[in-house]
Each structure stands twice: as structure tokens, then as C-alpha cells.
Structure 1
């Protein structure tokens, strides 16, 4: 009766089949499994493409690119570098507050600053597009300071409001 790992021919003596198996000349089931495992593990073999060490910055750049975060990070860079884009004096009186559908909204300290920035809109927009093309800024909207309004809030009523009691 032949061995399970031995030759299929019963004419080969057991000593010869053992010798051949130990020399690796006749594949046994165990040797086949070991060899197969090694060939399936090609991705971890040394000196293959993709095995070179990389810096953390390169790994993070690849992660953001693959995850599709480039646009959002570029928008954050616009906000972070606002003083470089608009100028130090302008940045002291303004701040980016919102970004929606390609429009960057910038709030100014006063209505005079908002009006002045409207005159500088083309220059500021071209600087943003030049420095951060992947941010997707198509236009800029300048608004004045937030002031309390008589028309908005939890206790508003329809009508002219408090002015109708003066006359």
C-alpha cells in the first residue's frame, strides 16, 4: 500500500521514496503548501516596487489625494493664508467667514472696508486662484459687520416694527 506522501508506484521501495522526499526531488503535500505560501506572498518580497521607505509627508499627501480631501484642505489653506493673500493691513480688518458653491464670503469690520475690498476684488481673487487653484474659489463676496436687526429673532412680529409708534 503506498504512503499518502509517497510515490503512487508501489514498485519503488520505501527507503528510496523517503530519500527522494528528503532531498526535495519528489514533492510532498507539506512541501507544496510551503512553496505555494511563498509564491503567494510576492507583495512583501524585498526590492519590489512600492517597498522603498517614504516620509510621513509623502504618505499623508497620498492619503489626502486618494481620499479626495485636496479641495477642502486647499480651502482651509486660503483661510490660513488670508493675511498673505489680502495683505496684512487688510487682514487686520477682515476675515473669511464662509465658503459655499465657489463663493468665498469675507466679513469686514466696517462697511467702508467692505466697499474698499469690493474695489480690490479682482486683485484678491486672482491672487487666490494663482496660489490655491484646487480650492475652487470662483467669486468673493464682501459683507459688512454683523449688527443687530429689528427684523430678525425669536420675538419678531410682522409689520413695520417699532418705527410705527413714533408718529
Structure 2
């Protein structure tokens, strides 16, 4: 005859686990009702969207949402003129207007206007590299303007008041 051994604790635990699994599989599963709305995701240790954000990131997202990227690049040409072209050039000229890609630059003398006209390709290259290629497509340089003799509501056509100078 065979002698039966006493059951080991691991065998008892294994049999209980199998019985519990079988009972769970036989039981009908309740249907869950989903609650409407987004589920909250926990951020953990990292920063979340509702945490305070750096100002630069908020401004960048606002520019992107409002589609102000073109205007900010145009503003960068005027606001960062000295950094874009260098302090030596910025000391002797200033941007006046930007319409349809043509940047009007006013120089303090005709000599500087000539010099800037010769340097136009390198200045355009700097502007394309730092601001963007399609913002400034052409550079128009003008020298200082002569004083106007047309003052007041009435003026006379001609070359101006030369008889008073002698």
C-alpha cells in the first residue's frame, strides 16, 4: 500500500489560488459606467501644465497661438538693429520702414549711404540668418534729406528763396 504524505504548505497555497481564479472567471463581470469628462493625469514630480511656467515659454506659446510670428520677426529687425548689423553700422544708420520685404535704411551722411549700399549683400545675409529669410528681401539705403523750403500753407513753385542769400 501506498502511504500518503502530508500536504506541504506550498501545495495548499497553490490549490487555493487555482480555486480562487476559477471562481473569479465563473463570476459575471460588472459593467463599468464611464464618467464623462477628461480624466486627471497626475504629474508626479515633474512640472505640469497647470504649474507656473517661465515667461519666455508663455510668450512663445502666445505668439504661436495668435499667429504673430511674422510681426515679431519684423519687430526684431527694428528692436535688435544694433545686435543684427553691429554697433559700428548701427551708430551711423537706422531702419525707418519695412514694407513688402524692402527695408528702408537712413544713413547719417551720403558717404555712409554709399558704404551701406556696397555692404547691402552682407547685411541682408546677416538679417536672413538671424531673423528669417523672407522678412527682409531688399535693402534700400537713403542719405540725409535736405531741408524743405515749403513751410506754411502757401508756397511758391520754383527753386526756393535764393534772393535772400545774396
Is TM more than 0.5 here?
yes
Contact 1:70/1:134 (CA < 8 Å) preserved in 2? no
CA RMSD of aligned residues (A): 2.8
Contact 1:108/1:143 (CA < 8 Å) preserved in 2? yes
Q: Distance in 2 between matches of 1:154 and 1:132?
A: 42
Number of aligned residue pairs: 127
Cα–Cα, structure 1 residues 76 and 124, in superposed 2: closer, same or farther, change >3 Å? same
Q: Give secondary structure in 2 for the equivalent of 1:126.
A: helix
Structure 2: 5+ residue runs without aligned partners? 1-32
Q: TM-score, normalised by structure 2?
A: 0.64
1:41 to 37, 44, 53: 37
Aligned to 1:61: 60
Higher gyration radius (CA): 2
Contact 2:120/2:139 (CA < 8 Å) preserved in 1? yes
Moved over 6 A (4+): none
Cα–Cα, structure 1 residues 117 and 63, in superposed 2: closer, same or farther, change >3 Å? same
How far off is 1:47 after superposition? 3.7
How far off is 1:158 after superposition? 5.3
Q: TM-score, normalised by structure 1?
A: 0.63
The structure where helix makes up a greater share of residues is 1
Structure 1: 5+ residue runs without aligned partners? 1-34
Q: Distance in 1 between matches of 2:134 and 2:77?
A: 8
| Structure 1 residues 66-105: aligned runs within 5 Å | 66-105=65-104
Contact 1:74/1:134 (CA < 8 Å) preserved in 2? no
